[in-house]
Amino acid sequence: MTRQRIIVLGAGVSGLTTAVTMALAGCDVVIHAAEGPAQTTSALAAAIWHPFYQAPDFVYLERARQTYATMLRLSSDRSSGVLMRPLTEYFRRDAGVPWWAECANDLKRLPETDVPSRFACAYRMAVPVAATATYLRYLLNMFFELGGRFVQRRVDDPVSLLDDADHVVNCCGYGSRQFGDAELALSRAIVLRARRDAAVRGCFIDDSDPAAPTYVVERDDDIVLGGTADPELTSTVIGERQIEDIVRRCTQLCEGVAALQVVDARTGFRPMRRVARVACDERHPRLLHNYGHGGGGFTLSWGCANDVLRLAGVAPKN
């Protein structure tokens, strides 16, 4: 039986996960990307499983559920860079259990005595967290072990590659704007990295302010502090006042942050779209799209990759 020939564009978390998923299903897969995984936006992410900025949505929920289940399995392999961490999320309004909490393990509501007065409630649960450099390298190595190939090149027109493959999958994130998607927008994120310290254990989130999501993420090799969501700002300049504001907000969530040594401040650019585009192209059915996840690239990665597999008409191997 002839193997389907697949070209995946992009080597961020969406591209790598899609490529691995299709290779696991028996496809002959080649990644075309202008940059390696370490140079992508994904490499700058906090890489915590969490539905940031997201209203209740059943499609999103199913993709997030599949991703959680896969990353939970990967967490048993230390070389993956994925670990399960306790996440404490604080809410300004008590709307009950988070709509996505059915995906997570060990959910419990914190007693009122453990919740700062400015919040209405808090929940704690176990979620996957990835050390991005380790995890992206793990995915790339898995892809190579499955027989995948990597071609470093910039693609200006994905349609031109259809003669060389049964399907081309566009996972180029904001780069897809040059392919004609005017719905894509940028959201700049400022993220700080701090040295690991016993003063911070676990992860903490307050995303009640869409312009200033606040999160503390303990990873295997560092602690990530964030952040910002600045629409359409493209400057990479980070002011001292912005760093101080992020540290201040994070310290309000976890007092131990005050003891941390910040070693790095970086900007990344989230590809924002009203709805992530995981679909066949309207004009070219063999061109598939998987991008526009905003802050949910890691949260949705495996679920979206499974949807792409179905769009290509490929049955997953048991």
Express each pLDDT in 202-225 by its tens digit. 999 999 998 899 999 999 889 999
Q: Tell me what the mean pLDDT of segment 100-124 comes to.
A: 95
Beta-ladder partners of 193? 224, 264
* CA-based nearest residue to 10, from 44, 42, 33: 33
**Has residue 295 got a pLDDT over 90?**
no
How many Å apart are CA 229 and CA 212, to the nearest integer?
6
- Please tell me the CATH code under which domain 5-312 is placed: 3.30.9.10
Question: Alpha carbon of 71 to those of 74, 126, 150, 212, 298: distances in Å?
Answer: 5, 12, 24, 27, 10
> Which pLDDT score, from 0 to 100, does residue 210 have?
87
Residue 76 in this model has a pLDDT that exceeds 60:
yes
Cα distance between residue 9 and residue 14, in whole Å: 10
Distance in angstroms (rounded) separating the CA atoms of residues 132 and 153: 23
Q: Where are the domains of the chain?
A: 5-312
Confidence of residue 1 (pLDDT cuts 50, 70, 90): low
Give the bridge partners for 225, in sequence order.
192, 216
Residue-level pLDDT at 2: 77
Q: How confident is the model at residue 116 (pLDDT cuts 50, 70, 90)?
A: very high
pLDDT of 318 reads 60
* pLDDT band at 81; cut points 50, 70, 90: very high
Query: Helix (H, G, I), strand (E, B), or coil: what is residue 235?
Result: coil
User: How much of the chain exceeds pLDDT 70, in percent?
Assistant: 99
Task: Give the least confident one: 36-40, 112-116, 131-135, 178-182.
Answer: 178-182
SS3 state of residue 197: coil
Above 90 in pLDDT, residue 56? no
Q: Is-contact 195 222, C-beta < 8 A?
A: yes
Nearest to 299 by CA among 129, 102, 56, 131: 129
Rg (CA), the chain: 19
**Region 225-231: what's the mean pLDDT?**
92
Please tell me whether the overall predicted TM-score, pTM, comes out greater than 0.75 for this model: yes
pLDDT at 247: 97
Helices and strands, counts by H and E, the chain? 5, 15
**pLDDT of residue 248 exceeding 90:** yes
